[in-house]
C-alpha cells in the first residue's frame, strides 16, 4: 500500500522516477552508493548553490546531506569555484609534485594536533586502509581492534563487524577484533589476551558520524591503555576532521591519537583523503638505503590521483577558510538553533524523542522518552532500535524531501545555512511529524 507521503513523493518527482527506471538497468539497486538507495526511487540532482540544491523536477531542496559531510562551506562556494577553475586551466594532473600539495599538507599539520607527517589519498576508505597497514608495519603486529558499527569505509578490513561481507576472505576478517564501545576493560583484555594487536581505530564521536555516541571519557581511557600496551591509536576523523572543531575531535576533546584519517572537508568538495600522524609511523612509507627493508618492511604506496591538483586547489581553499574565518562557528550555531527548534517542537507536539549531536551534526531521535544533555545522547540498544525504526525513518526521509529538505534523522549543518534555512527545516519537520502521527508512526 502506498502511503500519502509516498504518493506525494511520486507526484512531486516524475523526472527522478524516469531516470531511476533507466538507472536500475545500469547500476545495482539503480545507484552508485549504498547510502543513496531510496524507495521508491532516489532524487536526481542538477546543481547546488550555497545551502540549496535542485532536482531534475525543479524542486529546490535545503541540503542537510551536504555532500555526505564533505561540504561545510556550501555548494559551489565562489572561492572554491575560482580556485578549481584556475587550476583546471593550468592542468588537472601534471604527474609531478606541486606547491599546492605542500600548502595542503602544511594546513593539515597546522590544524590537526597529531599531524607530524601527512600522506594524501583520494578517499577516506584509502586513508583508513593505509592507517591500518602503517600501524601493522610499524609495530610488526597484525590485529586491529575496531568497534561495533563504527564505519571506516568499504575496504576489506574496515568491513569487519558490518553487513555486506560477501567476498571477504575469513583470513582477512580474522585479523580484526570487533568490540562494543565504552568498556575499557574489554579493550584491555582483548589486547592482553591476543598479544598481537597493532592498532585500535574508532570514530571519535561514535558510530555513524556520532549517531551512536561514545562516552567522551572513553577517548582518554583508550589513549591511556593503548599507550601502555604500545598499540597505535587511530582516530578516524574523516567526518570529524575540520568539523567537530577546526582541529577535529582530537582538538575538541584534547586527546591526541597516534594517527588520524582525514577526507570529506579536507578535499573542499572534491575527492581527497589523507593519513597523518606521528612521523615514525607515517614514515613507514619512506624508503631507506637498506634494500631488504625496502622490499619487505617498507609500506609501498602509489595512487594516480594522490594530492591531485584540482582536489588540492579546492582543499587548500576550504582549509584556509576553515582556519581563518568562522566557518565552524557558524555551522555550529546553526546546529544549535536546529537542536533547540526540534526539541521545542517535540515538546510542543508531545512527541517523545530528542535532537542531539556535537558541533554541526544533529540527530533527530523519535519514539523514545528519555533524558539526555542534547549533545552526547547515549541510549540503550533497545531504545536505539526504537529510535531507528526503519518504517518511520523511511517515511520521514520521503516526507522531508516532499517539503524540500534532504536529511532523514541526521542533519549536517554548513556555514552556508542561514537561520531561515534552519527555521524552515524545523517547520517542515513539524508538518512531517503531523503526517507521521497520522500514520501511527509517532
Ligand atoms: N570513515 C568514516 C568515519 C566515514 O564516515 C566515511 C564515509 N562516510 C569513511 C571513512 C569513508 O570515506 P570515503 O567515502 O571517502 O571512502
Ligand 1 pocket test: which of 120, 152, 248, 274 has the largest number of ligand atoms within 8 Å of its C-beta?
152
What is the C-alpha to C-alpha distance for residues 228 and 224, in angstroms, rounded to an integer? 6
Q: Is the CB of 262 under 6 A from ligand 1?
A: no
State percent of the chain over pLDDT 70.
Answer: 100
Query: What is the predicted pLDDT for the residue at 408?
Result: 86
What's the grid cell of residue 327?
566557518
State percent of the chain over pLDDT 90.
Answer: 98
pTM of the entire structure? 0.97
Q: Is the CB of 203 under 6 A from ligand 1?
A: yes
- Examine the pLDDT at 1 and tell me if it is beyond 90: no
User: In this predicted model, what pLDDT tens digit does every residue of 327-351 receive, in sequence order?
Assistant: 999 999 999 999 999 999 999 999 9
Closest residue by CA, ligand 1 atom 5? 239
Closest residue by CA, ligand 1 atom 9? 153
Average pLDDT over residues 54-59: 98
* CA distances in angstroms from 210 to 187, 313, 345, 369, listed in the order given: 20, 29, 22, 20
What is the atom index within ligand 1 of the atom nearest the CA of 123?
Answer: 15
Average pLDDT over residues 189-218: 97
Average pLDDT over the chain reads 97
- Examine the pLDDT at 370 and tell me if it is beyond 90: no
- Examine the pLDDT at 377 and tell me if it is beyond 90: yes
Closest residue by CA, ligand 1 atom 13? 124
Q: What is the DSSP string of 134-197?
A: HHHHHHS--EEEEETT----SSTTTTTTSS--TT--HHHHTTEEEE-TT-HHHHHHHHHHHS-E
3-state SS assignment for residue 259 = strand
Torsion, Cα of 390, 393, 399, 400 (10° steps): -150
- Examine the pLDDT at 22 and tell me if it is beyond 90: yes
What is the C-alpha to C-alpha distance for residues 15 and 162, in angstroms, rounded to an integer? 34
Banded model confidence at residue 57, pLDDT cuts 50, 70, 90: very high
What is the atom index within ligand 1 of the atom nearest the CA of 208?
Answer: 5
- Examine the pLDDT at 184 and tell me if it is beyond 90: yes
Query: What is the predicted pLDDT for the residue at 373?
Result: 87
CB-based contacts of 161: which residues, under 8 Å, 6+ apart? Answer: 146, 147, 148, 149, 150, 176, 178
Closest residue by CA, ligand 1 atom 10? 152
User: In this predicted model, what pLDDT tens digit does every residue of 75-104 receive, in sequence order?
Assistant: 999 999 999 999 999 999 999 999 999 999
User: In this predicted model, what pLDDT tens digit does every residue of 250-271 receive, in sequence order?
Assistant: 999 999 999 999 999 999 999 9
Amino acid at each position: 500500500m502506498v502511503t500519502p507521503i509516498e504518493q506525494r513523493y511520486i507526484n512531486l518527482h516524475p523526472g527522478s522516477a524516469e531516470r531511476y527506471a533507466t538507472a536500475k538497468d545500469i547500476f545495482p539497486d539503480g545507484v552508485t552508493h549504498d547510502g543513496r538507495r531510496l524507495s521508491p526511487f532516489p532524487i536526481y540532482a542538477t546543481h547546488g548553490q550555497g545551502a540549496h540544491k535542485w532536482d531534475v523536477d525543479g524542486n529546490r531542496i535545503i541540503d542537510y546531506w551536504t555532500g555526505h559531510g564533505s561540504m561545510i562551506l556550501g555548494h559551489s562556494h565562489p572561492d572554491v569555484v575560482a580556485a578549481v577553475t584556475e587550476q583546471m586551466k593550468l592542468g588537472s594532473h601534471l604527474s609531478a609534485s606541486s606547491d599546492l600539495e605542500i600548502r595542503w599538507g602544511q594546513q593539515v599539520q597546522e590544524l590537526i594536533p597529531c599531524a607530524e607527517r601527512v600522506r594524501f589519498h583520494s578517499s577516506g576508505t584509502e586513508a583508513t586502509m593505509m592507517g591500518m597497514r602503517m600501524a601493522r608495519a610499524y609495530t610488526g603486529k597484525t590485529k586491529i581492534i575496531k568497534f561495533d558499527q563504527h564505519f571506516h569505509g568499504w575496504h576489506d578490513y574496515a568491513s569487519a563487524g558490518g553487513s555486506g561481507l560477501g567476498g571477504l576472505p575469513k583470513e582477512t576478517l580474522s585479523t580484526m577484533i570487533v568490540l562494543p564501545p565504552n568498556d575499557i576493560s574489554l579493550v584491555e583484555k582483548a589486547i592482553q589476551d591476543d598479544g598481537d594487536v597493532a592498532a585500535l581505530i574508532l570514530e571519535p564521536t561514535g558510530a555513524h558520524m556520532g549517531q551512536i555516541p561514545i562516552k567522551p571519557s572513553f577517548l582518554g581511557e583508550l589513549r591511556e591503555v593503548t599507550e601502555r600496551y604500545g598499540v597505535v591509536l587511530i582516530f578516524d576523523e574523516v567526518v570529524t576532521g575540520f568539523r567537530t572543531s577546526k582541529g577535529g575531535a582530537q582538538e575538541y576533546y584534547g586527546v591526541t591519537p597516534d594517527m588520524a584519517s582525514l577526507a570529506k572537508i579536507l578535499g573542499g568538495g572534491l575527492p581527497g583523503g589523507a593519513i597523518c600522524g606521528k612521523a615514525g609511523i607515517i614514515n613507514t612509507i619512506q624508503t631507506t638505503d637498506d634494500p631488504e627493508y625496502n622490499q619487505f618492511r617498507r609500506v609501498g604506496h602509489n595512487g594516480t590521483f594522490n594530492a591531485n591538483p584540482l582536489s588540492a586547489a579546492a582543499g587548500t581553499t576550504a582549509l584556509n577558510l576553515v582556519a581563518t574565518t568562522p566557518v565552524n562557528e557558524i555551522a555550529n550555531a546553526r546546529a544549535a538553533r536546529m537542536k533547540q527548534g526540534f526539541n521545542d517542537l517535540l515538546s510542543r507536539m508531545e512527541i517523545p524523542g530528542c535532537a542531539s549531536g556535537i558541533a554541526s551534526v544533529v540527530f533527530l531521535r523519535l519514539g523514545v522518552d528519555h533524558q539526555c544533555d542534547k549533545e552526547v545522547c547515549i541510549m540503550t540498544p533497545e531504545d536505539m532500535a526504537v529510535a531507528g525504526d526503519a518504517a518511520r525513518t523511511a517515511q520521514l526521509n520521503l516526507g522531508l524531501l516532499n517539503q524540500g529538505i534532504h536529511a532523514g534523522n541526521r542533519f549536517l549543518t554548513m556555514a552556508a545555512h542561514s537561520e531561515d534555512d534552519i527555521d524552515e527545516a524545523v517547520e517542515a519537520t513539524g508538518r512531517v511529524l503531523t503526517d507521521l502521527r497520522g500514520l501511527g508512526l509517532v
